[in-house]
Structure 1
Amino acid sequence: MTADAVIVGAGIVGAACAAELAACGMRVEVLDEQGIGGGATAAGMGHIVVMNDSPAEFALSRYSRELWLELAPQLRPCDAFARCGTLWVAADDEEWQAACAMQAVFAAQGVAAELLGAAALRECEPALAGSMAGGLRIGHDSIVYAPTVAQWLLTQSPGAANIRVRRGAQVTAIGVHRVTLADGERASAAHVIVANGLGAQRLAPWLPLQAKKGHLLITDRYPALIRHQLLELGYIKSAHHASGTSVAFNAQPRPTGQLLIGSSRQFDTTDPAVEMPVLAQMLQRAARYLPVLPTLNGIRAWTGFRAASPDGLPLIGPAGDRAPGVWLAVGHEGLGVTTSLATARLLAAQITASVAPIPVEPYLPARFTERDCHV
């Protein structure tokens, strides 16, 4: 065997898994047909956020945020880590009540969350529309430029000497202790880990993954226009539609002074082209919250595809009888960056038969029966 572990995928999840296993002393080979930090990692916002759509999502995202905060002092300026916080914006009284309920849940779990009334919200973020009812500030949420962090994890993290990365390596099949490349070469290892997002469906078509297309737009530089990652409280509802197209307000202040504007969700297409009607709908939604937005200069728009599981939670653990000896780290939807470090810890704990830092059961692939999987 050429390595202790072969990882398919050099995005943020694959890179985190490689760094974690290498730190355990394993020799790790990472294969990617493109390069480090591409795919969904390059297309996303890099928002590190505690989400509470379910107890399992809350546990995984909270633990992973803790790991990001521990890692942050080692990162470089080019990794663009910033603890800007998340500000959930309530547009009306109903959403203000939702903010209050969300704060109570966070407080009960020991996560700092501060309610801001309408006046405090305007003082905190003057660019927001004056009609907003209030907000909820999560102070330790952060942002990061995930593609360069993936590169750091694979080349400069403490175990990086144990990691070999092969770019331009297209994996076409997986098996017990081996993967097969497009040129017929086989790479063998004690553990095969699939961490290439939607690409996993080509290797394991039975996986219950669905593509979620999203649009983003970045503006010219407008320093200090906003200070926090801003999200509408309606985002939680619209982000989890099971079909069709939805948009929600999501704005991020980049360290460059630029604004990153989102977001959209589509289930009914795998076309990577920017769709102007969807982009327009997304920007119109954002302008309700940031009235200044139509006066700003947008310089680029793009799309990406998130790999979504039926229950919104990632698949972390053994693939099961359909692929003996194969491990999965896929299905993170829009939380791949947030939960990448925790995913790596949970996977490494299972591979090394050590105690996991949080319960792994909610994320095990075995929770999906054959009836849930694609034929």
Structure 2
Amino acid sequence: MCYSADCTVIGAGVIGSSIAYQLAKRGFKTMLIEKSVPGQGATRAAAGMLAAECEVFAHPQLAALALRSRDQFEKLVRELEELTGLATGYTTTGFVIPARTQEDAARLSAMAGSKDGSAAEWWDAAEISRRIPGLSGQALGGLFRERETQLLPQRLAQALVTGAEKYSAELLTDTAAEDILIMDGKVRGVRTSRGDIACPNVVIAGGHDASKLLDNYGISPGMYPVKGEVVAVAMPARPLKYTLYAEDVYLVPKPDGELWIGATSRPHEWGTDVSAGGLMQLLSRAAAWLPDIEESSFLRAWAGLRPQTKDGLPLIGPVPDAAGLYAACGHYRNGILLSAATGEAIAEMMTGRTAEQLNLTALSPDRMKRQPAASEGGLR
């Protein structure tokens, strides 16, 4: 079977789904292909935090992209909910970074105030205990960041896919991308397990296995999986209002009284089973901050594989020497946060804007361009 489109997006996780939504919204005839089920890869490993200020980023351009992306979510979520009728669990109660030592307290309290477009408020030990009933006495205070938000990651992915379909995008599940079809240095289509898709633009937005396709075209990001485990419990009393973003664990309150606790970090692990050790680590660290967790009811646990590049930065932009080929992958633990801005960036690039204009040069795929050996004939 042969299909045709203006653009094919490979990978229907939250990044690929966001790109497909933005392209379809702009009038591109869009195909979104997924080797299994949308939102079941790295998206599954996420707790859905939009932590642009709490997170530490490897490059200033990535930090700026994160802030821009987080601030797009209020409009995006409202737009998606109106278009699809699907709720995303978007929550705006803010994040608290607790201090365990006097050194932590001094460092965090120094961040209070408004600077660089962000706002933070220092809560001393008495205030944080009043604001978060049941918090362990080890908390010497906490930094409250009111602009940090969170949502349900798989609900977001579902809303993005449905929104893209509302704009006439076509989703093909159980469809593996086998090769990019390139002639005379230009994209002509995609070869898939269900037939060829004729199109002048392709976006590689898969998880850690995106390396396989990119390597064929001279880009070697050294992508590898980082397994993450998350556990959900139901709190019997004193539900947590704020996301607690501690150094060793995070506790994220969700709708219907659920509390998500995450996440472990296991580089180069390929399985998605949840280990007993991972569960023990997460629950013990969480209970050290919130002792009521010992009385909570276990609901479920899950794991996913987050894609990490060798330099810690995602690839966002055109692939050199292959006109019409783009990469949007390697977002590691910030895929949910970066999904809004990544979707818009790829759509903007496809309509003529450059990485320089979008302040994304540090994330360009050409930084990973492999130098061909003397025996190599170059790109096909």
TM-score normalised by length of structure 2: 0.86
In 1: Cα distance, 2:119 partner to 2:280 partner:
35
Q: Is the 8 A contact 1:211 1:308 kept in 2?
A: yes
Residues 1:62 and 1:108: Cα distance change in structure 2 (over 3 Å):
same
Q: Is the 8 A contact 2:21 2:163 kept in 1?
A: no
Identify the residue that residue 277 of structure 2 maps to in structure 1. Answer: 277
Larger Rg: 2
Residues 1:354 and 1:201: Cα distance change in structure 2 (over 3 Å):
closer
In 2: Cα distance, 1:124 partner to 1:363 partner:
39
* Bigger shift: residues 289-298 or 10-19: 289-298
Identify the residue that residue 352 of structure 1 maps to in structure 2. Answer: 351
Q: Is the 8 A contact 2:190 2:198 kept in 1?
A: yes
1:24 aligns with 2:26: yes
Q: Is the 8 A contact 2:13 2:38 kept in 1?
A: yes
Q: How does 1:1-375 map to 2 (within 5 A)?
A: 2-50=4-52, 51-53=55-57, 54-74=59-79, 75=81, 76=85, 78-103=87-112, 107-156=114-163, 160-176=166-182, 177=187, 178-183=189-194, 185-205=195-215, 206-222=220-236, 224-232=238-246, 234=247, 248-321=248-321, 325-354=324-353, 358-370=358-370
In 1: Cα distance, 2:46 partner to 2:202 partner:
26
In 1: Cα distance, 2:335 partner to 2:179 partner:
24
TM-score normalised by length of structure 1: 0.87
In 2: Cα distance, 1:63 partner to 1:286 partner:
30
In 2: Cα distance, 1:56 partner to 1:97 partner:
28
SS of match in other structure, 1:310: coil
Q: Percent identity?
A: 27
Structure 1 portions without partners, runs of 5+: 235-247
In 2: Cα distance, 1:120 partner to 1:179 partner:
57
How many angstroms does 1:320 deviate by? 2.4
In 2: Cα distance, 1:277 partner to 1:193 partner:
37
Identify the residue that residue 237 of structure 1 maps to in structure 2. Answer: none
* Bigger shift: residues 249-258 or 31-40: 31-40
SS of match in other structure, 2:264: strand
Letter in 2 for 1:181: T
Q: Is the 8 A contact 2:61 2:360 kept in 1?
A: no
In 2: Cα distance, 1:118 partner to 1:354 partner:
49
Q: Is the 8 A contact 1:11 1:150 kept in 2?
A: yes
* Bigger shift: residues 13-22 or 73-82: 73-82
In 1: Cα distance, 2:12 partner to 2:27 partner:
19
SS of match in other structure, 1:186: strand
SS of match in other structure, 2:106: helix
SS of match in other structure, 2:256: coil
Residues 1:189 and 1:369: Cα distance change in structure 2 (over 3 Å):
closer
How many angstroms does 1:175 deviate by? 3.2
Q: Which aligned segments of 4 or more residues in structure 1 are displaced greater than 6 angstroms? A: none
* Bigger shift: residues 78-87 or 187-196: 78-87
SS of match in other structure, 1:256: helix
* Bigger shift: residues 138-147 or 185-194: 138-147
1:183-222 per-position Cα deviation (integer Å, ceiling 9, x unaligned): 4x11121111011111313323433212111111011354
SS of match in other structure, 1:198: coil
In 1: Cα distance, 2:222 partner to 2:62 partner:
18
In 2: Cα distance, 1:101 partner to 1:365 partner:
37
Q: How many residues align?
A: 352
Letter in 2 for 1:168: D
Residues 1:144 and 1:122: Cα distance change in structure 2 (over 3 Å):
same
Q: Is the 8 A contact 2:236 2:297 kept in 1?
A: no
Structure 2 portions without partners, runs of 5+: 372-380
In 2: Cα distance, 1:369 partner to 1:136 partner:
41
SS of match in other structure, 1:317: strand
Residues 1:353 and 1:288: Cα distance change in structure 2 (over 3 Å):
same
Q: Is the 8 A contact 2:226 2:308 kept in 1?
A: yes
